[in-house]
């Protein structure tokens, strides 16, 4: 196994097709020999959600050097907020992802997508099949449960004002603790710091609150969204599916049907976590790292 030193993380910026400034983190470089990995976060989540995983995938013990890209969608993380909130849509984000990959010179990669990121993985498989070498989809599937969407709708853009990190940690433990029953104490703080930025003594969301508009059409009468054709576009590549044991967005029935329909589906249930598994615990990171090592 080739020796290597720890890989540094670099912030990169590139324009979207409409000129908006997009950000992504890069670990490693385009000359690294192993298949690169592209990480796509959830609806309101920043690219930094993948930092612990990216460092594990690029650690000296992980094998040949591997480039990792973790993307901030528009309106999240370090990417610019869009003055037109209707642009926070899957088609525009899809075009943004392709623009970032083109700027970075990535033509084939292993994709890791959490929640909305997993939807993008399915859409990419349908529209750009040669782009995907393999994929990991984290707590998302072709059927998105309405109950989970309604819960998400209740908090996106509506978190209460929090004055300290202690308050933020307590808030998440109170509101998410029922679904996340097996999270290390230190990881609650990590999650809080990934969700907020501390500016002049105030905690601010690391996403545009106007993202709430993406859920305006979700009601108690909304039928479950189905993406089976897009999921089946993944059939020709290795696929690892993660499901939080307590998830209310990806049902056990849908997860089982995904395994039945995909010829090379590897299923892993993350114990004691809901939607979506945080990708902070060593056990889940090890499962992903082993999959990436085998397929990449």
Mean pLDDT of the region 14-33: 96
> At residue 44, does pLDDT exceed 90?
yes
Q: Tell me, what's the pLDDT at 5? A: 64
Tokens representing 243? 């499901």
pLDDT over 50 (residue 3): no
CATH superfamily of 9-157+207-295: Alpha/Beta hydrolase fold, catalytic domain (3.40.50.1820)
171, 184, 220, 278 from 165: Cα distances, Å: 10, 16, 34, 18
Q: How far apart are CA 194 and CA 114, in angstroms?
A: 15
Every domain of the chain and the residues it spans: 9-157+207-295
User: What was the pLDDT predicted at 220?
Assistant: 85
Mean pLDDT of the chain: 94
On the question of pLDDT at 288 being above 90, the answer is yes
Q: Could you say which DSSP state residue 152 is in? A: H
> Tens of pLDDT along 50-90?
999 999 999 988 889 999 999 999 999 999 999 999 999 99
pLDDT tens-digit series, residues 146-166: 999 999 999 998 888 888 999
Q: Model confidence over 227-254: pLDDT tens digits?
A: 999 999 999 999 999 999 999 999 999 9
* Per-residue confidence (pLDDT) for residue 115, from 0 to 100: 98
Report long-range pairs for 211-216 (Cβ below 8 Å, ≥24 apart): 211/43, 211/44, 211/75, 211/76, 211/85, 211/88, 211/156, 211/157, 212/153, 212/156, 212/157, 212/158, 213/85, 213/86, 213/88, 214/43, 214/88, 214/89, 214/156, 215/149, 215/152, 215/153, 215/156
pTM of the model: 0.96
pLDDT above 70 coverage of the chain, percent: 98
79-136 residue pLDDT tens: 999 999 999 999 999 999 999 999 999 999 999 999 999 999 999 999 999 999 999 9
Confidence of residue 4 (pLDDT cuts 50, 70, 90): low
């Amino acid at each position: 196994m080739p020796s290597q030193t720890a890989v540094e993380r670099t912030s990169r910026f590139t324009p979207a097709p409409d000129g908006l400034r997009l950000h992504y983190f890069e670990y490693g470089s385009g000359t690294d020999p192993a298949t690169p990995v592209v990480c796509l976060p959830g609806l309101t989540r920043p690219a930094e959600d993948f930092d612990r995983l990216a460092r594990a995938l690029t650690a000296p013990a992980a094998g040949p050097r591997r480039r990792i890209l973790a993307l901030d969608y528009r309106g999240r993380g370090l990417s610019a907020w869009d003055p037109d909130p209707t642009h926070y849509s899957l088609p525009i984000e899809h075009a943004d992802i392709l623009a970032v990959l083109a700027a970075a010179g990535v033509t084939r990669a292993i994709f890791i997508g959490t929640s909305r990121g997993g939807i993008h993985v399915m859409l990419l498989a349908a529209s750009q099949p040669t782009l995907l070498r393999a994929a990991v989809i984290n707590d998302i599937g072709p059927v998105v449960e309405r109950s989970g969407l309604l819960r998400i709708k209740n908090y996106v853009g509506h978190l209460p004002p929090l004055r300290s990190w202690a308050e933020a940690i307590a808030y998440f433990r109170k509101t998410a603790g029922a679904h996340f029953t097996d999270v290390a104490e230190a990881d609650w703080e990590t999650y809080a710091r990934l969700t907020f930025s501390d500016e002049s003594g105030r905690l601010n969301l690391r996403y545009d609150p106007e993202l709430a508009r993406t859920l305006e059409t979700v009601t108690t009468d909304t039928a479950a969204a189905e993406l089976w054709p897009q999921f089946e576009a993944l059939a020709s590549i290795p696929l690892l599916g993660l499901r939080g044991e307590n998830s209310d967005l990806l049902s056990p029935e849908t997860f089982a049907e995904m395994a039945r329909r995909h010829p090379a589906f590897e299923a892993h249930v993350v114990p004691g976590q809901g939607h979506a598994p945080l990708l902070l615990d060593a056990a889940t990171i090890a499962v992903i790292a082993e999959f990436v090592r085998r397929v990449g």
